[in-house]
Structure 1
Amino acid sequence: MSSLDLLLMPEAWASLLTLTVMEIVLGIDNIVFISVLTSRLPADEARHARQVGLALALVFRIALLLVLSWIIGLTAPLFEVFGHPVSWRDVILLAGGLFLIYKATHEIHKGVEGDDHAETGPVRAGFAAIIAQIVVIDMVFSVDSIITAIGMAEHVEVMIIAVVIAIGVMYAASGTIARFIERHPTTKMLALAFLLMIGIALVADGIGFHIPRGYIYTAMAFSALVELLNVAAQGRRKKAQAQKGATTTGPY
């Protein structure tokens, strides 16, 4: 089938829209992870790290789409554990989930203990380490994303276009999200809690217990809404206190 024929198919456009929305939603995990990781870098380095991270996410996803037969093979059982068939996808999700749990717990510990000053070493070393971590989690999220996409679209061209659009939206949103987390430190703890929850969900998937993503994203959206209301309330209180202070100290 030619590209022109594909453009004239209503079902292709419908699958493109559906798949793009799904890829954007699944990409929330990636954006939060990258934003949290890059929050310790200077502004220029953080922006560059986000660019590299999302570019790698795009490369991984397109590369996986071009080897669909291999990706489909990842779901084939390798062995059984207590009667549960285990595939390469399960192994990848399990390893990625454990990594996310470790990383989120480590960052939460730093935030609670207040030992952010313990970070040592040159910025370049930190940048390289962050990129390495982004590469690892990009691979995990890419496998999960593409395997989901395979069941929603029949044409590789549609999948690639959806992935490119989704990464573009993620790139446009990543800077705003990162700046918001930087300006409001309490949101970083919430973001880390999201990553911890996502890690647990990946581990559950890896051991054969699927948690519907709709439940997870609904909980994340509700928590984010509550945090936004809290940030807005704090901003209004600070503004009122500043105005009150200016009035009190003003000339009589």
Structure 2
Amino acid sequence: MELLTNPDAWIALLTLTFLEIILGIDNIVFLSIVSGKLKEEDQPKARRIGLLLAMAFRIVLLFGITWVLGLQQTLFSIDLGIFSAHVTGQSLIIFGGGLFLLYKSVSEIHHKMEGEEDSEKGKAGNTLSAAIIQIALLNLVFSFDSILTAIGLISMKSPAEGGFGYDGALAIMILAIIISVIIMMIFAGPVSKFVNEHPTIQILGLSFLILIGVMLLAEGSHLAHFRFGNDVEVGTIPKGYLYFSIFFSLFVEFLNLRMKKSKNPVKLHNSTIVDKDLEDTNVTN
């Protein structure tokens, strides 16, 4: 009840909800591309399961804050003179997630341009269960990144010290996660349809995932205190720069799409765009 009458709590809730939605954009892009390879009737199910998994992972991690923070402890150290590191559990998860995201993004771009998924092997891999496994793996990494950001934003100090207390901060973070996931569920369908209907948006989305993968690699290296020599330590890439480049690129592409509406888009392999001429030819045959 104290939180309901506390304007600072409402501001924190709105701020964190907005931040969760922004951080969830890369999740929606990945969901759109992975679900776009499934049968049309399976695509909404994959998106719902993916977003529910994202919400579940975040809430579970919030209840295990002590365990999450415990992952900051050094697991092992490396000292080779010219290179040193103090590897933690968090750094391993985030660094591994960055590698997975880079691999998945580059392979998706290759498949869409070269068309290897049209083979029997590619078709066999385009199942709902395979998509959910990929979504779950990436959600785990995105959840860690999201929760670490939330913990840094919401103060767990007691109300007397200007914070919201442990229970209050936990309630704000859980509510922000639930609201943000509900909002993303509402817009996931239209966003996925738009992404899969425009090849340039698909390639841009995959390029953004490469950027995010590089950011995760830098963040994982920073958490592991990667140091070269005595003075050079790997730093993080500010998320503001990354998301500014993403929104600016999308803005330019929206202008291009508006100016060239009358032109037919390039057909990517495994695209959900139906080639009308090809469809008519098949019907005639």
TM-score computed with the length of structure 1 as normaliser: 0.88
Correspondence for 2:238: 212
Cα distance in 2 between the residues matched to 1:146 and 1:44: 32
1:230 aligns with 2:256: yes
Correspondence for 1:243: none
After TM superposition, the structure 1 = structure 2 runs for residues 23-172 of structure 1, keeping only pairs within 5 Å, are: 23-81=20-78, 82-118=83-119, 119-121=122-124, 126-153=127-154, 154=156, 155-172=169-186
Amino acid at match of 1:37: V
- 1:191-239 deviations in Å (ceiling 9; x for gaps): 110111111110111111300000000000011111111111221456x
Structure 1: state its 5+ residue gaps: 239-252
After TM superposition, the structure 1 = structure 2 runs for residues 185-200 of structure 1, keeping only pairs within 5 Å, are: 185-200=199-214
Q: Percent identity?
A: 42
Correspondence for 2:216: 202
Amino acid at match of 2:179: I
Deviates further, 80-89 or 16-25: 80-89
Aligned-residue CA RMSD (Å): 1.5
Correspondence for 2:18: 21
After TM superposition, the structure 1 = structure 2 runs for residues 232-251 of structure 1, keeping only pairs within 5 Å, are: 232-236=258-262
- 1:112-165 deviations in Å (ceiling 9; x for gaps): 213342222286xx1111100000000000011001101111310000000011
- SS of equivalent residue, structure 2 residue 38: coil
Q: Is the Cα contact below 8 Å between 2:117 and 2:123 reproduced in 1?
A: no
- SS of equivalent residue, structure 2 residue 2: helix
- 1:27-70 deviations in Å (ceiling 9; x for gaps): 11111111111111122201100000000101111111111111
Q: Is the Cα contact below 8 Å between 2:32 and 2:196 reproduced in 1?
A: no
Greater than 6 Å deviation, 4+ residue runs: none
Cα distance in 2 between the residues matched to 1:217 and 1:99: 20
Amino acid at match of 2:70: G
Correspondence for 2:195: 181
TM-score computed with the length of structure 2 as normaliser: 0.78
- SS of equivalent residue, structure 2 residue 75: strand
Correspondence for 1:241: none
Structure 2: state its 5+ residue gaps: 157-168, 223-234, 265-285
Greater helix fraction, Structure 1 or Structure 2: 1
